[in-house]
C-alpha cells in the first residue's frame, strides 16, 4: 500500500512538472505571458555516477537536456526535459522526464549558480535479464559560465534504493 501511495505522489508530481513544461513551451512564443525562449537550449553532459547501495563501482553517466522556456525574472526559472544514461558492463539505467531549474545569480552574471529538481521515469536493464521501470527523481546543483560550459552535481533516486546515488558531470550548452 505504501508503494502505491509513493508511486501516486510521484506520478502526480511528474504530471505537474510536465504540464508546466508544456505550458511554458506554449508561452515561449508570447513573451507578454511571462516566459521567454531560452538561448542555447541544448545541454549535453558526461561524468561519473556513484551508487549509494549495492554495486559500489563508479558508473559512466551521460545526459542530454532541452530547455523549453524560462521566466522573465532576474533570477529565472527554466523549464525543460532530460534524458540521462548511467551504465557499465551490461547494466544500464535510463531516466526520461521534466526539470525545473532556478538560478541564484542574475542571468547577466558571467558565472551563474543554479539548483533544480527533475521527475520522470527510470528504466533499468541488467545483463542478467532483469528489466524494471520506476518513477523517480533527481535534485541537482551546478555552476555555468556564459561561454556555455557548466559543472553539475546531482542526487538521483530512480524509484529504488539499490540504484540511487550521486553523480558529478561537466557539460556544454549550445
For 135-173, write each residue's pLDDT tens digit. Answer: 999 999 999 998 999 999 999 999 887 789 999 999 999
Question: Look-up: residue for cell 511554458?
Answer: 24
- Specify the range with the lowest mean pLDDT, choosing from 20-34, 55-69, 122-136, 145-159: 20-34
The pLDDT assigned to 44 comes to 98
The pLDDT assigned to 50 comes to 92
The pLDDT assigned to 55 comes to 56
Confidence band, pLDDT 50/70/90 cuts, at residue 49: very high
Confidence band, pLDDT 50/70/90 cuts, at residue 91: confident
The pLDDT assigned to 18 comes to 47
Going from the N-terminus, what domains does the chain have, and what CATH number goes with each? Answer: 2-173 (2.40.160.20)
Provide the grid cell at 149. 560550459
Strand ranges (E), the chain: 35-36, 42-51, 59-71, 77-88, 91-103, 111-125, 131-145, 149-157, 165-173
CA atoms within 13 A on the CB side of 26: 5
Confidence band, pLDDT 50/70/90 cuts, at residue 108: confident
Tell me the three state secondary structure of residue 128. Answer: coil
Q: Give the predicted TM-score (pTM) of the model.
A: 0.78
* Greatest mean pLDDT range, 38-42, 52-56, 87-91, 111-115: 111-115
Mean pLDDT taken over the chain: 82
The pLDDT assigned to 139 comes to 98
**Largest Cα–Cα separation, the chain:** 53
When pLDDT is averaged across residues 54-75 and rounded to a whole number, the result is 89
Amino acid at each position: 500500500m505504501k508503494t502505491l501511495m509513493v508511486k501516486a505522489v510521484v506520478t502526480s508530481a511528474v504530471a505537474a512538472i510536465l504540464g508546466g513544461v508544456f505550458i511554458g513551451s506554449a508561452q515561449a512564443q508570447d513573451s507578454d505571458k511571462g516566459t521567454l525562449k531560452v538561448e542555447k537550449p541544448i545541454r549535453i553532459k558526461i561524468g561519473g555516477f556513484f551508487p549509494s547501495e549495492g554495486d559500489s563501482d563508479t558508473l559512466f553517466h551521460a545526459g542530454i537536456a532541452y530547455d523549453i522556456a524560462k521566466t522573465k525574472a532576474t533570477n529565472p526559472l527554466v523549464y525543460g526535459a532530460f534524458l540521462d544514461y548511467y551504465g557499465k558492463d551490461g547494466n544500464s539505467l535510463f531516466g526520461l522526464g521534466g526539470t525545473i531549474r532556478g538560478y541564484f545569480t542574475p542571468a547577466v552574471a558571467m558565472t551563474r549558480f543554479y539548483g533544480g529538481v527533475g521527475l520522470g521515469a527510470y528504466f533499468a536493464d541488467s545483463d542478467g535479464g532483469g528489466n524494471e521501470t520506476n518513477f523517480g527523481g533527481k535534485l541537482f546543483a551546478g555552476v555555468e559560465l556564459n561561454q556555455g560550459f557548466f559543472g553539475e552535481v546531482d542526487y538521483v533516486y530512480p524509484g529504488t534504493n539499490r540504484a540511487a546515488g550521486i553523480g558529478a558531470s561537466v557539460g556544454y550548452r549550445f
